[in-house]
Amino acid sequence: MSRPSAPRAEARVDLEAIRSNVAALDAHAGRACVMAVVKADGYGHGMVPTARAAVAGGATWLGVATIDEALALRAAGLTARILAWMVTPGEQWDRAITADVDVSVNSVWGIREVSAAALLADRPARVHLKVDSGLGRAGATQADWPDLVDAALKAEANGYLRLTGVWSHFAYADEPGHPTVAAQVQVFRDAVALAERHGARPEVRHLANSAATFTLPEAHFDLVRAGIAVYGLSPVPQRHEPAELGLRPAMTLAARLMLVKRVPSGYGVSYAHEYLTTAETSLGLVPLGFADGIPRDATNIGPVLVGGRRRTIAGRVCMDQFMLDLGDDPVVAGDEVLVFGPGDSGEPSAEDWARALGTISYEVVSRVGPRVARTYREIIQT
Q: How many Cβ atoms from other residues are within 10 Å of residue 324's Cβ?
A: 24
Residues marked as catalytic: 39, 271
- pLDDT confidence of residue 4: 53
Which whole-number Å values give the CA distances from 246 to 61, 207, 237, in the listed order? 21, 22, 13
CATH number for position 363: 2.40.37.10
Q: Indicate the number of domains in the chain.
A: 2
In a domain, 238, yes or no: no
Sequence-ordered list of residues with C-beta below 8 angstroms from that of 23, at least 6 positions apart, any chain: 57, 58
Q: Which amino acid is at 312?
A: T
Q: Which domain holds residue 296?
A: 251-377
In a domain, 4, yes or no: no
Q: What would you report as the CA-atom Rg of the chain, rounded to the nearest whole angstrom?
A: 24
Q: How many Cβ atoms from other residues are within 10 Å of residue 53's Cβ?
A: 30
SS3 content of the chain, % helix, strand, coil (to 5): 35, 25, 45
- pLDDT confidence of residue 7: 79
In a domain, 55, yes or no: yes
In a domain, 9, yes or no: no
pLDDT tens sequence across 251-293 = 999 999 999 999 999 999 999 999 999 999 999 999 999 999 9
In a domain, 243, yes or no: no
Query: Which of 178, 199, 231 marks a domain boundary?
Result: 231
In a domain, 237, yes or no: no
The torsion angle over the Cα atoms of residues 87, 93, 96 and 101, rounded to 10 degrees, is 60
Query: What does residue 323 show for φ and ψ, rounded to 5 degrees?
Result: -115, 155
Whether residues 167 and 256 fall in one domain: no
158-192 burial by CB neighbour count: b if 16+ within 10 A, else e?
A: eebbbbbbbbbbbbbbbbeeeebbeebbebbbebb
Whether residues 280 and 174 fall in one domain: no
Q: How confident is the model at residue 1 (pLDDT cuts 50, 70, 90)?
A: very low
Does residue 2 register a pLDDT over 60?
Answer: no
CATH number for position 226: 3.20.20.10
Q: How confident is the model at residue 378 (pLDDT cuts 50, 70, 90)?
A: confident
Residues of the chain above pLDDT 90, percent: 94
Whether residues 177 and 261 fall in one domain: no
Which whole-number Å values give the CA distances from 83 to 26, 62, 76, 378, 379, in the listed order? 18, 6, 16, 26, 25
Cβ atoms of 10 and 254 within 8 Å: the answer is yes
